[in-house]
Amino acid sequence: MNILAPLTTAFHFKQLAEIPVQLYSTYPDGAVVILLPALGVPVAKYDLFIQQLLSVNIQVITADYPGCGQNRPEVSRTFDYGYADLLNFFIPELYKAACSVSSRPPVLLGHSLGGHLATLYAQQHAVQVIGIATGNIGLKYWDLKGKFNILKAAAAINTMILKDGYLAGYKIGFGYKEARTLMRDWSRTIFTAGYQHITGTINTLSPEQALFIHLNQDDFAPLSSMLGLSRYFQNPQVISLDLSRTVKGHQHSAWIKQPAEVVRTVQTWLNQLQK
């Protein structure tokens, strides 16, 4: 496969940090997706996924979250942001960049945290969404073991935030350096199973098309959790893929290294949208 390097542009996030944006465009008439990564995962980790999307004429716009990857400053006690900041000051800039490379409306494609953000953005904007290995972390969507693990994680996360002023996620294998407000937003959802504390409004059902891709044996985003997130759309399509025989490692993120089946699923769904 020929590796295509991206064009780049940049924007200022809340006037605090410059965020480089990567624009991969090989087929201006093709579909365009805005890739929103998982928590603490640099965009560079998605390179094979991006290249395989490009090989089927799907253009990609993406950027590391503030303080993630090569972005500076790093998250700290003094450099902080939350879900609402990403919804109001991050995604709109990527959307603007996507509109510059294609006349077709961009589709938000989010992995894990990115799926949360894409879903919330679609509550207030006319945009189609693809969520991969994502879900609602509200306790009511989890079995007993899942509830226990989430509560244990939340306790550790909030204890570390009180100590450091941010989440040093690399110490517990949960992200890298993650913003205090972002993680407190995440934690609150555990008990509310909703996002009103982030959006400030009661969430409505989006009439836009949405695809959710569940991965079997993904205990970070089980099907019950994904269904809890997909309910924010009137008619979501939920597909389960079993990659465990060919993709080794934790199914929540190992697919990034062998993304062919996910790419085919995304391509098929995007093609159906055009019919």
Joined together, the tokens standing for residue 78 give 């003094």
Per-residue pLDDT, 2 = 56
Rg over alpha carbons for the chain, rounded to the nearest Å, is 18
Q: Total structural domains in the chain?
A: 1
Task: Report the amino acid identity of residue 213.
Answer: I
Whole-Å CA distances, 190 to 94, 150, 176, 206:
28, 8, 21, 22
Per-residue pLDDT, 4 = 67
Give the pLDDT of the chain (275 residues) as one tens digit per residue: 556 667 788 999 987 889 999 999 888 788 999 999 999 999 999 999 999 999 999 999 999 999 999 899 999 999 999 999 999 999 999 999 999 888 899 999 999 999 999 999 999 999 999 999 999 999 999 999 999 999 999 999 999 999 999 999 999 988 899 999 999 999 999 999 999 999 887 667 899 999 999 999 999 999 999 999 999 999 999 999 999 999 999 999 999 999 999 999 999 999 998 76
Q: Is residue 194 part of a domain?
A: no
Q: Is residue 154 part of a domain?
A: no
d(CA 201, CA 152): 29
Q: Domain limits at 36? A: 7-138+202-273
Question: Which residues 6+ apart lie within 8 Å of 139 measured at CB?
Answer: 147, 150, 151, 190, 191, 193
Indicate which CATH number applies to the domain containing 219: 3.40.50.1820
d(CA 241, CA 247): 11
Q: Is residue 188 part of a domain?
A: no
Per-residue pLDDT, 102 = 85
d(CA 177, CA 179): 7
Query: Residue 185 CB: number of other CB atoms within 10 A?
Result: 20
How does 109-139 read in b/e, with b if 16+ C-beta sit within 10 Å?
bbbbbbbbbbbbbbbeeebbbbbbbbbbbbb
pTM score, two decimals? 0.95
Q: Is residue 180 part of a domain?
A: no
DSSP 72: S
